[in-house]
């Protein structure tokens, strides 16, 4: 395994901290905390640098809130100073770690994303659909992944990749094993099921941390390598904790399921959830927000209902004078852009027939409002 040297020094280097500041502040210059930090930029960056050099750095308190798209999640946000540190780490570690990931891992990576993940899976499905024998898929989903990542396992993986980099591992331990905020949930429970005082310290990563996105891929890359090199599955795609394997032998996929589950349980200390299924490729696969078939894909029904509801809401806001036509146009063009990624004839027709803005009109690709 390739080893890297002097990573900690590169993280606290002045040029890297300044670059991290610009990334953290991008498109947020108007915010009070960013403005306050920027007003004394040199002093604040020096303070961060010294706290890292002398190992006095501690992670600040998290601000907690919920997001409800695509499902309810607990998000933990750090103050601006800590976000600069997160970016300083990310800028140095991400290029090195990303090079080790398999090509068909699409979550939280530059140049990847849900659309490319769906494109790749559909490409393989079309290929499989042309075969003389039916192909099958194994769809895997890890139970409460971000809330169940084992800290010892994660630090062990980092320790192997950055052997001898004790200062770097100290910093990552500070972030992963936060001494004042637990991130984890007991198996099978949701964030609503227990009070914050009963969350677990030894597992979990905060959704909202930049480093959490990177470390989530670092952990599951171990599984990716196992599937590709030990199980030798060619048609395998992953978007974060959502994974799909394709193969003409259903028995082989059942065996893969058992071996993957064993690997997750014994090596990564994770579990599959009840959404894990095996089915025929020709029947379609639900993946990254789409229902994908070999010849077409459409938006999931739940997502379609939410999009229609949002468009109706925009119409009401516009008619009430709460937003202007430019806001409407920008939003609708964004939706039309999304529609280019799936078969949206029915949705475009619904917009044309049901949505009208009385004081103007805007046209998107194949649709009118």
Tens of pLDDT, residues 252-281: 999 999 999 999 999 999 999 988 999 999
363 forms bridges with which residues in the sheet? 368
Give residue 322's pLDDT: 84
Give residue 73's pLDDT: 83
Q: Please report, rounded to a whole number, the percentage of residues in the chain having pLDDT higher than 70.
A: 95
Q: Which residues of 186-217 are buried (b: 16+ CB within 10 A; e: fewer)?
A: eeeeebeeeeeeebbeebbbbbbbbbbbbbbb
Give residue 47's pLDDT: 98
Give residue 153's pLDDT: 98
Residue 208 scores a pLDDT above 60: yes
Rounded to 5°, angle at Cα 273 from 129 and 127: 10
In 3-state terms the chain splits into helix, strand, coil percentages (rounded to 5) of 50, 15, 35
Section 296-312 average pLDDT: 89
Please state, in angstroms and rounded to a whole number, the distance separating the CA atoms of residues 167 and 137: 44
Predicted confidence band of residue 67 (pLDDT cuts 50, 70, 90): confident
Give residue 356's pLDDT: 67
Give residue 61's pLDDT: 94
Residues 6+ apart with CB under 8 A from 367: 336, 339, 348, 351, 352
Please report which helix (H) or strand (E) contains residue 263, including its range: helix 250-263
Neighbouring C-beta atoms of residue 303, cutoff 10 Å: 17
Residue 362 scores a pLDDT above 50: no
Give residue 338's pLDDT: 86
Predicted confidence band of residue 367 (pLDDT cuts 50, 70, 90): very low
Q: Which two tokens stand for residue 110?
A: 């530059």
Rounded to 5°, angle at Cα 238 from 270 and 201: 30
Give residue 264's pLDDT: 97
β pairing state of 277-280 and 285-287: unpaired
Give residue 365's pLDDT: 38
Report the largest interatomic distance among the alpha carbons of the chain, rounded to a whole angstrom: 68
Contact 209, 175 (CB under 8 A): yes
Section 233-258 average pLDDT: 97
Residue 361 scores a pLDDT above 70: no
Section 239-253 average pLDDT: 97
Instruction: Give DSSP secondary structure letters for 91-109.
Output: HHHHHHHHTTS-TTB-TT-
Over the stretch 168-179, which tens digit does the pLDDT of each residue have?
999 999 999 999
Q: Which two tokens stand for residue 60?
A: 């600040």
Query: How high does pLDDT run on average in the chain?
Result: 91
Residue whose C-alpha is closest to residue 329's, from 269, 278, 271, 369: 369
End-to-end CA distance of the chain: 56
Q: What is the 3-state secondary structure (H, E, C) of 33-82?
A: HHHHHHHCHHHHHHHHHHHHHCCCCCCCCCEEEEECCCCCEEEEECCHHH
Contact 183, 25 (CB under 8 A): no
């Amino acid at each position: 395994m390739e080893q890297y040297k002097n990573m900690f020094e590169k993280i606290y280097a002045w040029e890297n901290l300044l670059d991290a500041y610009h990334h953290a502040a991008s498109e947020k210059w108007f915010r009070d905390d960013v403005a306050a930090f920027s007003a004394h930029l040199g002093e604040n960056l020096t303070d961060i640098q010294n706290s890292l050099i002398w190992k006095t750095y501690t992670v600040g308190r998290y601000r907690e809130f919920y997001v409800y798209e695509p499902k309810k999640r607990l998000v933990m946000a750090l103050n601006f100073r800590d976000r600069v540190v997160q970016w300083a780490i990310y800028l140095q570690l991400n290029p090195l770690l990303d090079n080790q990931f398999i090509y068909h891992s699409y979550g939280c990576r530059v140049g990847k994303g849900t659309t490319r993940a769906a494109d790749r899976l559909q490409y393989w499905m079309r290929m499989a659909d042309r075969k003389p024998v039916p192909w099958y898929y194994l769809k895997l989903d890890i139970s409460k992944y971000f809330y169940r990542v084992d800290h010892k396992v994660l630090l062990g993986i980092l320790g192997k990749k950055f052997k001898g980099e004790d200062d770097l591992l100290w910093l990552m331990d500070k972030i992963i094993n936060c001494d004042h905020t637990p991130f984890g949930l007991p198996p099978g429970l949701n964030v609503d099921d227990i009070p914050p005082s009963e969350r677990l310290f030894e597992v979990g990563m905060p959704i909202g941390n930049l480093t959490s996105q990177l470390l989530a891929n670092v952990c599951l890359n171990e599984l990716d390598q196992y599937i590709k090199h030990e199980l030798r599955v060619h048609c395998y795609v992953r978007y974060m904790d959502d994974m799909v394997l394709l193969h003409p032998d259903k028995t082989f996929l059942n065996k893969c399921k058992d071996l993957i589950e064993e690997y997750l349980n014994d090596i990564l200390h994770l579990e599959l959830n009840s959404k894990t299924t095996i089915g025929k490729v020709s029947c379609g696969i639900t993946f990254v927000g789409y229902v994908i078939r070999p010849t077409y894909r459409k938006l999931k029904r739940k997502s379609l209902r939410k999009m229609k509801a949002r468009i109706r809401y925009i119409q009401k806001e516009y008619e009430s004078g709460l937003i202007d036509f430019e806001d409407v146009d920008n939003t609708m063009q964004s939706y039309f852009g999304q529609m280019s990624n799936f078969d949206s004839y029915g949705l475009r027709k619904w917009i044309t027939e049901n949505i009208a803005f009385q004081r103007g009109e805007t046209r998107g690709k194949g649709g009118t409002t």
